[in-house]
Structure 1
Amino acid sequence: MAHHKSAKKRIRQTERRTEVNRARVSRIRTYVKKVELAIAGGDSAAAQAALQEAQPELMKGAQAGILHKNTASRKVSRLVARVKEMKSLA
């Protein structure tokens, strides 16, 4: 356990940031899951709408440092490709 005042403060800050970051990650996962469920359900319009909501969330996560920039871009790219493929099949 920390004994210095500054170390105790850092522990408090870390706990707060961890809580916020967990909420952000959870939010991102929820949006991505909505897109994947719409794709699995075969609903092209719903998938497109869910993708429009998920994309900014992923990029905000990258901007906040929750996800690496390339990770967010890769996830968006793969989701877009799957939605586009779904549209072409329909």
Structure 2
Amino acid sequence: MANIKSAKKRILISEKKRKINVSMRSKVKTFIKKVLISIKNNRMQEAQKNFKILQPILDRSVSKGVIHKNKSSRYKSNLISKIKKIKNI
């Protein structure tokens, strides 16, 4: 454990930020799963609705530094291509 007051404070702050980051990552994963379940069940309208909700969540997590922008782009690209394939079936 740290002896310096600023180091103790830094530990508290980093723990608080870690909890926020874990929560944000969990939210992203939850909405990705919702989109994937909609795709699996061939519900295009529901998949598109969930994807529209997911996009700003991904963008927010990128701007806060929780996930990398390329990872966000990869998620969006893969999901939108899967949604488009529903239409072709």
Shorter-chain TM-score tier: over 0.9
1:22-54 CA distance string (max 9 Å, x none): 111111111111000000111111111111111
Q: 1:63, 1:86 → 2: CA distance?
A: 31
Cα shift at 1:86: 1.0
Look up the equivalent residue of 2:19 and give its one-letter code: E
Give unmatched runs, 5+ long, in structure 2. Answer: none
Q: 2:82, 2:59 → 1: CA distance?
A: 18
The alignment-based identity, stated in percent, is 36
Cα shift at 1:15: 0.7
Q: 1:63, 1:81 → 2: CA distance?
A: 24
Q: 2:72, 2:37 → 1: CA distance?
A: 19
User: Is structure 2 residue 8 aligned with structure 1 residue 3?
Assistant: no
Number of equivalences: 89
1:1-90 alignment, distance < 5 Å: 1-89=1-89
Look up the equivalent residue of 2:75 and give its one-letter code: K
TM-score, normalising length from structure 2? 0.95
1:61-86 CA distance string (max 9 Å, x none): 11110000111011111101100111
Look up the equivalent residue of 1:84 and give its one-letter code: K
Cα shift at 1:56: 1.2
RMSD: 0.8
Find runs of 4+ consecutive structure 1 residues off by over 6 angstroms: none
Q: 2:67, 2:79 → 1: CA distance?
A: 16
Cα shift at 1:88: 2.1
Q: 1:15, 1:7 → 2: CA distance?
A: 12
Give unmatched runs, 5+ long, in structure 1. Answer: none
TM-score, normalising length from structure 1? 0.94
Q: 1:86, 1:4 → 2: CA distance?
A: 58
